[in-house]
Amino acid sequence: MENNIVINNNCWVACIDMLGFKKELLRFEKQSGVGHLDGFVKILYNDILDALKRGEKDWHGRVCTCWSSDTFVFYTPDDSVQSFNAISAAAIHFCCRLIWHSIFRFRGALGTGQFYADKKNNVFLGSAFIDAYEYAEKQNWIGFIVTPSAENKIIHIETVNNMPSHTLLYQYYQYDVPIKKKKPKNGNILIVEYTERLFAGKIHSFPSIQERFQRMQNGLSQKDLVKYENTFKFFKQCH
């Protein structure tokens, strides 16, 4: 898709957020001093961008990408079946590449709604992005899910086209995804943990992903280990 094409439509949007990015960045700044962030880009960021751009290249004309700091986004020109299949494959393969290269932990979501994208002027906004971003942010594990709005859209498409239920979600497994949410109470902020029944991507079904994933948990804090334990439970239950 050309950079000068403006999208203003109902679209699919996948948002993937890197966990631990801020910590790694600040550690690098402290160790390297001023004027050396190009080293951080070469060591870590370029590999992420290569994986992102590969997804765009593989689905040229169906999937575009953009990014800011530790948030990476795939989006489509419309909300058709073909576009869903393309963005779903691109986003899941991107997640697998992150694990394969042991770059960063992540959480992501595929949403839908209105989306405006002017890549040339770097303007991206709309309910589709909000939908994907909010669901990416609140997951308490390493994974990629389909938002309820996107699921409802898929059900509608399948119904209209007389398709069996969840035909388009063959790369996903319905699961009680661990969620963590901030909730104000008596002037304080409480962290509420619960689960939400969502369709989660079968990222562990790709070759060597589980083995690579297991190596990434070495030397983690208890807080981060919880995310890994939650993810391993999903791997075991979803075959």
Residues 82-117 pLDDT 10s:
999 999 999 999 999 888 877 778 999 999 999 999
Lookup: tokens for 46: 């370029």
Residues 208 and 197 sit within 8 Å (Cβ to Cβ): no
Could you identify the residue written with the tokens 């990015």?
A: 21
Amino acid identity, position 31:
Q
pLDDT score, position 184? 76
> For the purposes of burial, counting CB atoms within 10 Å of the CB of 87, is it exposed (0-12), middle (13-18) or buried (19 or more)?
buried
The reported pTM is 0.91
Average pLDDT of the chain, as a whole number: 90
What is the C-alpha to C-alpha distance for residues 190 and 160, in angstroms, rounded to an integer?
Answer: 43
What is the C-alpha to C-alpha distance for residues 200 and 108, in angstroms, rounded to an integer?
Answer: 10
Residues 125 and 239 sit within 8 Å (Cβ to Cβ): no
Strand pairing class (188-201; 64-68): unpaired
pLDDT tens for 46-61 read: 888 888 888 788 887 7
> What CATH class does 6-215+223-231 carry?
alpha beta
What is the C-alpha to C-alpha distance for residues 137 and 111, in angstroms, rounded to an integer?
Answer: 13
Q: 50 — alpha (psi -120 to 50), left (phi > 0) or beta?
A: alpha
pLDDT score, position 2? 59
SS3 144: strand
In the chain, which residues have pLDDT < 70?
1-3, 219, 239
What is the C-alpha to C-alpha distance for residues 165 and 156, in angstroms, rounded to an integer?
Answer: 10
**Dihedral over Cα of 30, 20, 95, 231: its sign:** positive
Amino acid identity, position 136:
A
SS3 152: helix
What is the C-alpha to C-alpha distance for residues 237 and 143, in angstroms, rounded to an integer?
Answer: 14
Count of residues making up the chain: 239
pLDDT score, position 149? 98
Nearest alpha-carbon partner for 142 in 193, 205, 95: 95
> Could you give the C-alpha distances from 177 to 21, 68, 109, 147, in angstroms and in order?
23, 26, 12, 11
**Dihedral over Cα of 226, 234, 218, 17: its sign:** negative
pLDDT score, position 1? 57
pLDDT score, position 177? 97
